[in-house]
């Protein structure tokens, strides 16, 4: 019998395990693949404060400044955090929202600046300002190594007494309206509380105890192109005009993804996402070359595909739901890595103290999809912008 069983050892499950273990909670993490069997190892792993709601920006900023920037001190070891800086390149349609969001976030301590298009060269000489109306610039943002981050959190959790077991959760055990553990392919694991942090696999497990989560699996592709040696690094950029995001990688490449306004829905999380599409490889390089001309003819190095966990408002499902003792943290819709450290702390508070520090998080339950109270920013971006 343990206090908490966490299903899923991606970055989110690992972070919750670390924070529960820090609080002395007897924690068991189960993962069908041992760990890192989902999106996390394929993540762009971009970390930036800029978001369209204060609560999401706060989680991201706390994750950046209290964890990623001081990983060794806070968690132990390294997570590969690299401060590259981040620029949100807004087109004419998104510029008013960017202006309003920067004004909204600054009083909450986020260090964001607004730049005119012709000032972009001062922070990123490799990029041209074509099609840009306004830039939100964040100097402290960057990216990390998602595998090192997750393994670091799991190692720290283990040092504090948590256990990590390779086992597939088959169902949540419930009787009389209370959970009492998880049935796995290696037998039952009893616990007072269960957290489902199994990414795109979460709705299948929740359905077994009558909890309907509108989280759907969608295919995502990202591409890596060889960076010319004279381009040592560059900013992380969300390029709305070209509908791409890009960031440098440690092995002299530039990772490019699209926000995929047309979703490629999958039959389920186990569907084969296949090889990257040749047309996508060409398209992303063309878009990259429009913003960073020195990469116009960059060689394609490799591509990755996998299943994302998408909700109707692009925000995760968080907190207690269904039978007593059941918690969920899934449906990140492509934005869970940057916030994972702080959300791990919040979920641990929720499970131990009965609530999160940020009361706004109680709106992130699945009831919002029934009542229609979806989460949106006051100045929300179009389909291509970050949440």
Ligand X SMILES: Cc1cc2nc3c(=O)[nH]c(=O)nc-3n(C[C@H](O)[C@H](O)[C@H](O)COP(=O)(O)OP(=O)(O)OC[C@H]3O[C@@H](n4cnc5c(N)ncnc54)[C@H](O)[C@@H]3O)c2cc1C
Q: Tell me which residues touch ligand X (CB under 6 A).
A: 7-13, 30-33, 35-40, 42-46, 168-169, 197-199, 201, 205, 220, 222, 257, 306, 308, 330, 332, 334-338
3-state secondary structure of 35: coil
Query: Nearest approach, Cβ of 127 to ligand X (angstroms)?
Result: 18
As to burial, measured by CB atoms within 10 angstroms (0-12 exposed, 13-18 middle, 19+ buried), residue 158 is: middle
Query: Nearest approach, Cβ of 248 to ligand X (angstroms)?
Result: 13
- Identity of the residue, 8 or 85, whose beta carbon is nearer to ligand X in the bound complex: 8
Query: Nearest approach, Cβ of 118 to ligand X (angstroms)?
Result: 28
What token pair was written down for 155? 């190692």
Query: Nearest approach, Cβ of 244 to ligand X (angstroms)?
Result: 12
CA distance 326 to 192: 9
- Identity of the residue, 253 or 330, whose beta carbon is nearer to ligand X in the bound complex: 330
- Identity of the residue, 44 or 385, whose beta carbon is nearer to ligand X in the bound complex: 44
Query: Nearest approach, Cβ of 329 to ligand X (angstroms)?
Result: 7
CA distance 54 to 209: 33
Query: Nearest approach, Cβ of 9 to ligand X (angstroms)?
Result: 5
Cβ atoms 238, 224 nearer than 8 A = no
What token pair was written down for 243? 């509908």
What token pair was written down for 29? 């993490």
3-state secondary structure of 199: helix
Query: Nearest approach, Cβ of 304 to ligand X (angstroms)?
Result: 6
Query: Nearest approach, Cβ of 383 to ligand X (angstroms)?
Result: 16
Any idea how long the chain is? 387
- Identity of the residue, 292 or 330, whose beta carbon is nearer to ligand X in the bound complex: 330
- Identity of the residue, 86 or 137, whose beta carbon is nearer to ligand X in the bound complex: 86
Cβ atoms 89, 50 nearer than 8 A = no
- Identity of the residue, 219 or 368, whose beta carbon is nearer to ligand X in the bound complex: 219
What token pair was written down for 144? 């990390």
Query: Nearest approach, Cβ of 77 to ligand X (angstroms)?
Result: 19
The alpha carbon torsion through 104, 105, 109, 113 (nearest 10 deg) reads: -100
- Identity of the residue, 59 or 102, whose beta carbon is nearer to ligand X in the bound complex: 59
- Residue of 187, 179, 181, 185 lying closest to 211 (CA atoms): 179
Ranges of beta strands (E only) in 93-205 are 113-115, 134-138, 142-143, 163-166, 169-175, 178-184, 187-196
Cβ atoms 212, 206 nearer than 8 A = yes
3-state secondary structure of 107: helix
CA distance 54 to 64: 15
Query: Nearest approach, Cβ of 47 to ligand X (angstroms)?
Result: 7
- Identity of the residue, 40 or 53, whose beta carbon is nearer to ligand X in the bound complex: 40
- Identity of the residue, 11 or 156, whose beta carbon is nearer to ligand X in the bound complex: 11
- Identity of the residue, 58 or 257, whose beta carbon is nearer to ligand X in the bound complex: 257
3-state secondary structure of 337: coil
Distance of CA 318 to the CA centre of its chain: 13
């Amino acid at each position: 019998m343990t206090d908490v069983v966490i299903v899923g050892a991606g970055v989110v499950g690992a972070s919750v395990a670390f924070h529960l273990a820090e609080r002395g909670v007897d924690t068991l993490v189960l993962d069908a693949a041992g760990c890192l069997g989902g999106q996390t190892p394929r993540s762009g792993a971009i970390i930036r404060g800029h978001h369209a709601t204060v609560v999401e920006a706060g989680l991201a900023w706390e994750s950046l400044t209290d964890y990623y920037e001081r990983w060794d001190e806070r968690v132990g070891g390294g997570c590969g955090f690299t401060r590259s800086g981040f620029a949100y390149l807004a087109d004419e349609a998104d510029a008013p929202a960017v202006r309003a969001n920067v004004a909204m976030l600054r009083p909450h301590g986020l260090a964001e600046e607004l730049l005119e298009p012709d000032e972009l060269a001062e922070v990123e000489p490799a990029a041209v300002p074509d099609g840009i109306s306004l830039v939100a610039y964040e100097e402290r943002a960057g990216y990390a190594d998602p595998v090192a981050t997750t393994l670091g959190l799991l190692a720290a959790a283990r040092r504090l007494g948590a256990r990590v077991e390779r086992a597939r959760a088959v169902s949540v055990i419930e009787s009389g309206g209370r959970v009492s553990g998880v049935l796995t392919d290696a037998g039952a694991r009893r616990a007072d509380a269960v957290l489902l942090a199994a990414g795109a696999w979460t709705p299948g497990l929740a359905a077994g105890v009558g909890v309907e989560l509108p989280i759907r699996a969608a295919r995502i592709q990202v591409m890596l192109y060889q960076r010319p040696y004279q381009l040592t690094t560059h900013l992380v950029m969300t390029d709305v005009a070209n509908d791409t995001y890009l960031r440098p990688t440690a092995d002299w490449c530039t990772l490019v993804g699209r926000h995929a306004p047309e979703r490629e829905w999958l039959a389920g999380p186990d569907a084969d996402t296949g090889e990257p599409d040749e047309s996508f490889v060409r398209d992303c390089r063309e878009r990259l070359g429009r913003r960073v001309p020195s990469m116009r003819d960059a060689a394609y190095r490799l591509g990755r595909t996998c299943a994302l966990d998408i909700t109707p408002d692009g925000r995760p499902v968080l907190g207690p739901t269904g039978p007593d003792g059941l918690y969920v943290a899934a449906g990140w819709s492509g934005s869970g890595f940057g916030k994972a450290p702080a959300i791990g702390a919040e979920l641990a508070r929720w499970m131990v103290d009965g609530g999160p520090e940020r009361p706004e998080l109680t709106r992130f339950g699945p009831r919002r999809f029934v009542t229609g109270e979806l989460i949106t920013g006051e100045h929300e971006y179009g389909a291509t912008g970050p949440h």
